[in-house]
Amino acid sequence: MKYDESEQNKKGVRKRTSTDPIDPERLVRLIARAQSGEVEAFQLLYLSYAKKIFNFLFRMSGSREEAEDLAQETFILAFRKLNSLKEAVKFQGWLFRIAQNCFYQKHRGKKPQIESIDEEGSAELSDVQKLATPGLDPEHSILSDELQEVIRVAIQELPEKYRTVFVLSAIQKLSYQQISEIVNRSMASVKSDIHRARVAVRDKIKGYLGENYGMSNMF
Amino acid sequence: MTALLDDELSSSEANSVKDHLHSCSTCQQEFQSLSFAYQLTGQLGELEVAPDLWDRITPRLPSRSFFGQFWSLFRRPWVQATVGALVLAAFLSVFLWVPGQDQAEKEFAEFIQQRERISAETQSLLFSNAGVEVNRARSNPFVKPVSFSTRNPFQE
């Protein structure tokens, strides 16, 4: 098998496209207004970042309900502590750090919780996933759901330290620099943990797919 | 390899890794394997946030105190600049302008006092030598008119 760059592009390896959903000038204005107690301005910030924070917490906790509770705590705490934010342009990283701390605080000493997608919100999730993977025939769709469950479990089974950087990198598409600031660790440590997490997830998927691993007709 | 897949390498670093991948079949297989896992994790869908989540957050948001609002206002650059300019102006007026004015007033007051003192001394000297009593209320019609001593000091 020869390495082919064009094939990588064709298969859709996602480039990191995650940036702040609001342009910096507007962000600074909204944060200044929210800092002076304007709830409407904070609501606009919430609308821009809620999905990212919620999905980060969902991938961390493995539970929709818990992710919602933690997202609530995150935004309430963010509003309370908004005056401590020094640089408005770093709002996204600051918010992820609060979300991470909320999660760690709740999960100190707990084992990761894994819930089946079938148990809650399965219809909604599979619809979203089907839209995210266009052109799937029903047979492949079932396989894709199974695969997604395997990946989800693989992420949940990662140690928290690896899971955080993996979710921020692979799912949220943040840069190593941003991740390093969020988890307050060196870039070298972040890089190394992301690689270990990637290999661990890969091994889980490989273990599940066996000989089929790497087959392009999975997509 | 992970950094290459995460698009975190400079173009020269990426090129050197790619060159190696072209020449090393073991690394190439590892890269393909990791890349496949990347594609799968990239296919994970995102959940939509519950529409009522904000409604659950709003009642728990604390209302800002007056001091908090004032402090937030003060954090704005234009407010800081205005306050800074006012403080500077106050500083200058206290240490430069007011002392100069005080000094001039003080000197003027001293000058007036000195002039009055000299004037009074001169008057008292003149009138006492001449033996003349001046009634201060001479312009008052209800008081006796000015009276001069009838005694001639030179006739003794």
Would residue B61 be called left, alpha or beta, if left means φ above 0 and alpha means ψ between -120 and 50 degrees? beta
Residue B142: predicted pLDDT: 66
pLDDT in tens, chain A (219 residues): 444 444 444 443 444 545 567 888 999 999 998 988 889 999 999 999 999 999 999 999 989 999 999 999 999 999 999 989 988 889 999 999 999 999 999 887 565 444 433 333 333 333 433 333 333 343 343 446 777 788 889 999 999 989 999 999 988 989 999 999 999 999 999 999 999 999 999 999 888 888 777 765 555
Condensed to tens digits (0 to 9), the pLDDT of residues B74-133 reads 767 788 889 999 998 888 877 776 555 677 788 888 999 999 999 888 888 776 655 555
B75 touches chain A (CB under 8 A): yes
Mean pLDDT of B148-152: 64
Residue A130: predicted pLDDT: 39
Cα distance between the two ends of chain B: 133
pLDDT band at B23 (very low <50, low <70, confident <90, very high): very high
Please answer yes or no on whether B8 and A175 come within 8 Å at the CB atom: yes
Q: How many CA atoms lie within 13 A of A187 on its CB side?
A: 8
For B22, the closest of A3, A42, A51 (CB atoms) is: A3
Give DSSP secondary structure letters for B83-123: HHHHHHHHHHIIIIIHHHHHHHHHHHHHHHHHHHHHHHHHH
Which stretch of DSSP H or E encloses residue A118?
Answer: none
3-class state of residue B130 by DSSP: helix
The span from the CA of A198 to the CA of B41, in Å, is: 10
Residue A137: predicted pLDDT: 40
B53 touches chain A (CB under 8 A): yes
Helices B25-42/B11-23 angle, 10° precision: 120
Domain spanning A121-219, CATH class: mainly alpha
Which stretches of chain A are DSSP H helices? 5-11, 24-35, 39-61, 64-80, 91-107, 122-132, 138-156, 160-166, 176-183, 187-209
> Between vectors from CA A147 to CA A217 and to CA B43, what angle results, nearest 5°?
75
- Say which amino acid occupies B1: M
In A166-185, the residues whose Cβ lies within 8 Å of chain B are 169-171, 175-176
| Predicted ipTM beyond 0.85 | no
CA distance B43 to chain A (A): 7
The span from the CA of A58 to the CA of A68, in Å, is: 8
Please answer yes or no on whether A124 and B48 come within 8 Å at the CB atom: yes
Residue A218: predicted pLDDT: 52
**Residue-range domain boundaries for chain A:** 11-110, 121-219
Domain A11-110 fold is Rna Polymerase Sigma Factor; Chain: A (1.10.1740)
- DSSP state at residue A117: G
A159 touches chain B (CB under 8 A): no
A214 touches chain B (CB under 8 A): yes
Top-confidence residue, B57 or A18: B57
Total residues found in chain A within this entry: 219
